Amino acid sequence: MKNNTKNNFDYKDIFSMKNKKVVIFGGTGNLGLNFSKTLSSAGAKVYLLDKVKKKLDDKNIFFLKCDVNSKKNIENNLKKIIKKEKKIDVLIYNVYSKPMDYYQKFEKYNLNTWEKVMKTNLTGAFLASQNIINHFKEKKISGNIIIVLSTYGIVGPDLSIYENLKKHKNIYGGKHSLTTPVSYTSSKSGLLGLMKYLATTCGKFNIRVNSLSPGGVFDFQEKNFVKKYTKKVPLGRMASWSDYNGPILFLASDASSYMTGSNLIVDGGWTAW
Ligand SMILES: NC(=O)c1ccc[n+]([C@@H]2O[C@H](COP(=O)([O-])OP(=O)(O)OC[C@H]3O[C@@H](n4cnc5c(N)ncnc54)[C@H](O)[C@@H]3O)[C@@H](O)[C@H]2O)c1
């Protein structure tokens, strides 16, 4: 492969997303919306594919309804964008699902819930990547895939931080109190494997695949939880929604042009102990 990198010292060029078409699965979620605004401000046209519609106020950000549990839905939406834009440059897989009984404890974890989470978090990423890689190869695009993991894709949870939380009052509702369930860690670790497989097999096509592992965002969780979580973070705080905007721009732009197969951990130091 040719080394076609040129010397570039201009940070605006290095981080520019001008003329780039980006697709974010799970794009209307909290992080997805933050990512889309950042990438748009750097010059990208961004498509948010999600099962939930949100009001958007940026002329470079578009919404398409998509359920990643449907192979056809993924295929058809990507086809639609490619037809309109001629190409896609960057795909971000940011979806995660919290079906009924998601927070059930391990001993009683329901097979049905496990399978739903695996399908949405992991199988959806496999299908989206398969589709987009075929597009990148067909059009000879130096494409870029970013998979959003979690610190819990690389380390197991410390369940003691969830002890004595109020039932029925976790921020996402449901009848169990907040926790990190087995399906989350397992699906996120699976995504780490998917990312590495894609990176090592697609490098020769100049396709880059990396992941971002965020730590927990402060979202008005119970004080008791926030205190215990924060104690484990060297920077002494939970993340804010915008803490991941710089990292996503880095991964999506030429700033990370020699990076593939890497997992960028941005967690305030949680995994550094
Ligand atoms: N928020 C955090 O503290 C945190 C920490 C670490 C990692 N993450 C990761 O960041 C990503 C985004 O998290 P978030 O907090 O913004 O979550 P979020 O729930 O706000 O966003 C997830 C999005 O996925 C969408 N989605 C769910 N099922 C879908 C389906 N079947 N088809 C299409 N879309 C579907 C939802 O509608 C939602 O918009 C997730 O992958 C999550 O694991 C979040």
Contact yes or no for 53/65 (Cβ under 8 A)? yes
- Tell me whether residue 233 is in a domain: yes
pLDDT of 7 reads 81
Contact yes or no for 25/49 (Cβ under 8 A)? yes
- Tell me whether residue 218 is in a domain: yes
pLDDT-derived band of residue 172, with 50, 70 and 90 as boundaries? low
222 lines ligand 1 (CB under 6 A): no
The DSSP symbol for 46 reads E
State how many domains the chain has. 1
Ligand 1 atom with minimal separation from the 93 CA: 41
- The CATH number of residue 85's host domain is 3.40.50.720
- The yes-or-no verdict on residue 168 having pLDDT over 80 is no
- Tell me whether residue 266 is in a domain: yes
Q: How far is the CA of 142 from the centre of ligand 1 (A)?
A: 27
Q: How far is the CA of 211 from the centre of ligand 1 (A)?
A: 15
For 123, other C-beta atoms within 10 Å of its C-beta total: 17
Give the strand order in the sheet containing 21-25: 61-65, 45-50, 21-25, 90-93, 144-148, 208-214, 263-266
pLDDT of 170 reads 64
Ligand 1 atom with minimal separation from the 148 CA: 41
Contact yes or no for 101/174 (Cβ under 8 A)? yes
Ligand 1 atom with minimal separation from the 27 CA: 39
- Tell me whether residue 6 is in a domain: no
- Tell me whether residue 150 is in a domain: yes
- Tell me whether residue 2 is in a domain: no
- Tell me whether residue 217 is in a domain: yes
- Domain housing 166: 11-272
pLDDT of 35 reads 98
Output the six-digit token pair for 31: 């992080």
Least confident piece of the model among 8-12, 60-64, 204-208, 231-235: 8-12
Indicate the length of the chain as a whole number: 273
Output the six-digit token pair for 67: 């359920």
- Tell me whether residue 132 is in a domain: yes
- The yes-or-no verdict on residue 116 having pLDDT over 80 is yes
Half-sphere exposure of 58 (CA within 13 A, CB side): 21
